[in-house]
């Protein structure tokens, strides 16, 4: 009990002593959202839509995007995980752009495991491990062959996109519906928990647990501390007796694992089958980078930002049916928010990133 009070006090102290920082972050986020809404409205007007329509569009986006919590949370779950896939290596000072490819690999590994074993737990583990293995490949290339992880990840993403399509189309399609894969057996589907006020998809719980677990790992354990130190100051990390190479490998495997898990829950908990064009998978990995930046590279922030972005996406689909506006309006809003947020943040981030690396 005493321990809990102590932790709470420390958290509070932590918060009050950084009040200014948190305040500034909040201000920046609000400003960029506002800016983005303004610019998007401007673009819509330029494209010839009546000006009151943009206001109506925002009303629909925010009203419809956030009104069904069950759907919102389940849509956000894979995004939370791909955002964590970017976040964990970033805390160790590296860029994981490979979330997209790791997501594909995780999804396919899960689907195959689910089809053969019918066990959701095994399928989750397989998905996570497949993503982690792919992340590890990127990290090994970086650590031992000094291959830039960003370049390698971009190339591997595209290679995997096409390989995955090939695998799905060739080996996994359902003979009766040739453009879809076989369905995940019922025994391997992630259940939906009915809590009365909200029907919570288990995938959301998996994502939430991953974020909380990550926060605990990075801020309460030696391993996580070592990873953060090695990202911020590799020299200090050596003096403390940490091994930078191992830490880089660990964080990349962890990140890859998150994206793989994202693919898993998408298959097991939400779509239950993949299509040959991979429409249901495509984009989550890339959007995760934006969600991570919007969440200020903080595990808890990432959960909030992923839910927010998912709400915008859902709302975007509604404006199409309600107002006849293109759903790309939502993409536009998200894009501009991410850009306006990312510019100052990415600037500081890259500055330290390259300063560290140059040594």
Residues that bind other proteins (CB under 8 A): 3, 6-7, 10, 13-14, 17-18, 220-223, 225-226, 228-229, 232-233, 235-236, 238-242, 352
Question: C-beta of 28: minimal distance to other proteins in Å?
Answer: 18
Question: C-beta of 231: minimal distance to other proteins in Å?
Answer: 9
Helices (H), 47-119: 51-65, 69-91, 99-117
Question: C-beta of 30: minimal distance to other proteins in Å?
Answer: 24
**188: DSSP letter:** G
Using the minimum distance from each CB to other proteins, give the nearer residue, 20 or 145: 20
Using the minimum distance from each CB to other proteins, give the nearer residue, 231 or 315: 231
**267: DSSP letter:** I
Helices (H), 92-187: 99-117, 120-145, 149-167
Neighbouring C-beta atoms of residue 11, cutoff 10 Å? 10
Question: C-beta of 18: minimal distance to other proteins in Å?
Answer: 7
Using the minimum distance from each CB to other proteins, give the nearer residue, 31 or 236: 236
Closest CA to 154 of 228, 81, 210, 95: 95
Report CA-CA distances (Å) from 30 to 62, 90, 295, 309, 318.
15, 23, 12, 14, 24
Using the minimum distance from each CB to other proteins, give the nearer residue, 189 or 228: 228
Residues 258, 82: contact at Cβ < 8 Å?
yes
Using the minimum distance from each CB to other proteins, give the nearer residue, 17 or 146: 17
Question: C-beta of 223: minimal distance to other proteins in Å?
Answer: 6
């Amino acid at each position: 009990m005493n321990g809990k009070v102590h932790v709470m006090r420390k958290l509070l102290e932590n918060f009050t002593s950084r009040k200014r920082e948190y305040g500034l972050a909040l201000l920046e986020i609000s400003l960029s959202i506002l800016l983005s809404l303004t610019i998007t409205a401007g673009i819509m007007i330029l494209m010839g839509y009546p000006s009151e329509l943009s206001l109506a569009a925002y009303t629909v986006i925010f009203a419809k995007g956030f009104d069904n919590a069950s759907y919102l949370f389940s849509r956000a779950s894979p995004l939370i995980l791909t955002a964590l896939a970017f976040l964990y290596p970033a805390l160790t000072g590296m860029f994981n752009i490979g979330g997209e490819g790791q997501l594909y690999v995780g999804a396919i590994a899960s689907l195959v495991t689910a089809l053969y074993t019918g066990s959701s737990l095994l399928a989750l583990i397989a998905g996570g491990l497949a993503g982690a293995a792919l992340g590890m490949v990127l990290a090994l290339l970086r650590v031992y062959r000094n291959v830039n992880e960003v370049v390698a990840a971009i190339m591997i993403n595209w290679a995997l996109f096409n390989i995955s399509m090939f695998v799905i189309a060739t080996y996994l399609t359902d003979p009766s519906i040739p453009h879809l894969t076989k369905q995940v057996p019922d025994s391997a589907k992630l259940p939906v928990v009915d809590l009365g006020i909200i029907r919570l998809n288990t995938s959301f719980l998996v994502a939430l647990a991953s974020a909380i677990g990550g926060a605990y790992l990075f801020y309460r354990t030696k391993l996580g501390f070592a990873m953060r130190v090695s990202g911020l100051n590799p020299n200090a990390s050596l003096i403390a007796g940490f091994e930078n190479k191992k830490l880089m490998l660990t964080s990349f495997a962890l990140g890859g694992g998150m994206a793989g898990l994202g693919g898993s829950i998408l298959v097991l908990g939400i779509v239950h089958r993949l299509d040959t064009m991979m429409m249901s998978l495509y984009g989550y990995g890339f959007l995760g980078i934006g969600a991570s930046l919007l969440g200020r590279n903080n595990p808890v922030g990432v959960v909030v930002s992923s839910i927010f972005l998912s709400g915008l996406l859902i709302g975007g689909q509604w404006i199409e049916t309600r107002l006849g506006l293109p759903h790309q309006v939502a993409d536009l809003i998200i894009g501009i928010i991410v850009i306006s947020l990312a510019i100052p943040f990415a600037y500081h981030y890259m500055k330290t990133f390259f300063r560290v690396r140059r040594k």
